[in-house]
Amino acid sequence: MVNFIFGIHNHQPLGNFGWVFESAYERSYRPFMETLEEYPNMKVAAHYSGPLLEWLAENKPEHIDLLRSLVKRGQLEIVVAGFYEPVLAAIPKEDRIEQIKLLKDFAKKLGYDARGVWLTERVWQPELVKSLREAGIDYVIVDDYHFMSAGLSREELYWPYYTEDGGEVITVFPIDEKLRYLIPFRPVEKTIEYLHSLDDGDESKVTVFHDDGEKFGVWPGTYEWVYEKGWLREFFDRVSSDERINLTLYSEYLKRFKPKGLVYLPIASYFEMSEWSLPAKQAKLFVEFVEKLKEGGQFERYRIFVRGGIWKNFFFKYPESNYMHKRMLMVSKLVRENPEARHFVLKAQCNDAYWHGVFGGVYLPHLRRAIWENIIKANSHVSTGSFVRDIDFDGRDEVFLENGNFYAVFKPAYGGALFELSSKRKAVNYNDVLMRRWEHYHEVPEAATPEEESEEGVASIHELGRQIPEEIRRELAYDSYLRAILQDHFLDLETTLDEYRLNRYVELGDFLAGAYDYSLFEGGVALERDGTVAGKPARVEKTFHMTEDGFVVDYAVRSDVKALFGVELNLAVHSVMEEPAEFEADKFEVNDPYGIGKVAIELDKKARVWKFPIKTLSQSESGWDFIQQGVSYTVLFPVGGELRFRLSFRER
């Protein structure tokens, strides 16, 4: 007989659309638990994230009642995590403990004293042991890949182990990767055969399936397969009645057996994450390497040595994510003694918007907007004033300005540009705009996954190879610079809007990413750079004043080369789909009703204005997403000598 633990992880990100919650509930969460209720001998370990529980409590209280009933019947073991589903390794220790405590308190309302942790995205680092123990946790669930990365063979992965850090000890359960690809994508018989194959007379042997609940109805093709074709009922029926399978829960297993021994797990997540977290060029090589091993029949033999990146690499891969994360850390320190403000910080730690894999993640503007909303709301509880320091730990100082209504953060070393303009009143960051990047899957049709090919069942997301549609490919462009506000361009006089928006133009100056000198004054900052245009000396000065409704910036430009001088403002326009356009104006309005709202751009003289949407191509569970990350507005003036003008930004 083999012990078998079956678990699910149900989560919807903070900021996700209400219809997404509703759809996932109807296609997965509700039918799954209602089916479970019909099989009293079936047991499930379940983790529900805080954002999902809050939505259920408000919109589907009957589901909360059902969970409570299943706990009472002994069919459901509640496994917790950080309430707002943070990657625990990426937040301060004090916040980890508070996050876990919040979800443990909710579990008690369901009638369960939770002692186990579902590790968000299975991101492990050894020092988590102390935080977890301090939070009252006895066991944690990670992937078998973590154990293989520590050198254990597959044959050693059918037991939990102890792991230790600084004298604190916790139990770690490995999730069986084989089961992750069988359940629910292959016929039930395949899972039964695999479980039977593990039965070797060792009564302590245990295999664990614990994975996304959305696989049971939300992922493409799974609703029909799992419910309409009866996969789940057959699975529950056969697993709960098979004499060679002992269906158990984590807590029940630990009452009967002690862990196998001591292991030390390296920093790791699941196998697919080690591909996704690599920089794009290296991720492409990683996929090629895995495919070469598989083609030569060598992958299984050597896979314990095949490792890619770690989750925190996303902060290197996406500087926009890094900056958002470091702003969250900054505010976390400032408001730790303020319960109301701190709650906003805990919300801002929701993991999804900080990274990207097969799901949209950082590429989804509404998820980033929710993070920024909570960072700003938390920050608004304390006064920081103006200061200079390296906020995002890139080795270069930022200039942080604050008045009664706004935060403005400049990067003097990167074009003297404005990389955050946050409104306290609207709780939005006007510069929440992601640059257009080449991702490795734009060329690699398949992911580096260890699953076997099979025509039976339904394909896992990880098995889907996709081609980019031609209509997207025609508009696809990649940026050579991060997108900010008040970015300074020198362009050839013949440059067209199409060349500019598709990044097929020549930048004549070295101001866009060059370092500016700066000096602070009351309510603003003066930035200046002596650089070159077409190899000849040029100078740009911009004097920035914060106002009650936005900012005013005075430009003084000197270039003997005849060119177009452009000031680019990248604004987080997400709810209004814009088309490229060119016009002349001394003022224009931006209206994004479900995003940044209304703003007005005013000039003291007429300028040519180019606008175009910044659209990124990313993969998602449903295919390709060609998403508007924001809109670029560039005001252009001819220069060939002296140029002076004033630009005003007003919040409406």
Cα separation, 29 vs 61, in Å, equals 13
Q: Is the separation of the CB atoms in 437 and 478 below 8 Å?
A: yes
pLDDT per position as a tens digit, 27-79? 999 999 999 999 999 999 999 999 999 999 999 999 999 999 999 999 999 99
Domain layout of the chain by residue ranges: 2-269, 481-651
Which pLDDT score, from 0 to 100, does residue 360 have? Answer: 87
Which pLDDT score, from 0 to 100, does residue 278 have? Answer: 97
pLDDT above 90 coverage of the chain, percent? 93
pLDDT tops 70 at residue 450: no
The tokens describing 618, both together, are: 């990313």
Q: Are strands 550-571 and 536-547 parallel, antiparallel or unpaired?
A: antiparallel
- Angle between helix 30-37 and 61-72 (nearest 10): 30
Mean pLDDT rounded to a whole number for the chain: 95
- For residue 201, what are the CA distances in angstroms to 2, 55, 198, 207? 8, 45, 9, 14
Pick the CATH number of 2-269 from 3.50.50.60, 2.40.30.30, 3.20.110.20, 3.40.50.300: 3.20.110.20
The tokens describing 381, both together, are: 């509880």
pLDDT tops 70 at residue 460: no
Which amino acid does the sequence have at 152? Answer: L
Which pLDDT score, from 0 to 100, does residue 239 have? Answer: 97
The tokens describing 363, both together, are: 């590429």
Which pLDDT score, from 0 to 100, does residue 202 have? Answer: 94
Greater model confidence, 239 or 462? 239
pLDDT per position as a tens digit, 169-195? 999 999 999 999 999 999 999 999 999
Q: Cis link prior to 580 (omega < 30° from 0)?
A: no
Q: What CATH code is assigned to 481-651? A: 2.70.98.10
Cα separation, 22 vs 218, in Å, equals 11
Fold match, 2-269 / 481-651: no
Element (H, E) at 371: helix 365-379
Annotated active-site positions, please?
Answer: 121, 212
pLDDT per position as a tens digit, 516-572? 999 999 999 999 999 999 999 999 999 999 999 999 999 999 999 999 999 999 999
CB within 8 A of 118, min separation 6: which ones? 7, 9, 47, 79, 80, 81, 141, 210
The tokens describing 81, both together, are: 């995590």
pLDDT per position as a tens digit, 332-341? 999 999 999 9
Among residues 273, 263, 358, the alpha carbon closest in space to that of 307 is found at 273
pLDDT per position as a tens digit, 579-607? 999 999 999 999 999 999 999 999 999 99
Cα separation, 634 vs 502, in Å, equals 14
Q: Rounding to the nearest 10 degrees, give the CA dihedral for residues 287, 292, 293, 298.
A: 170
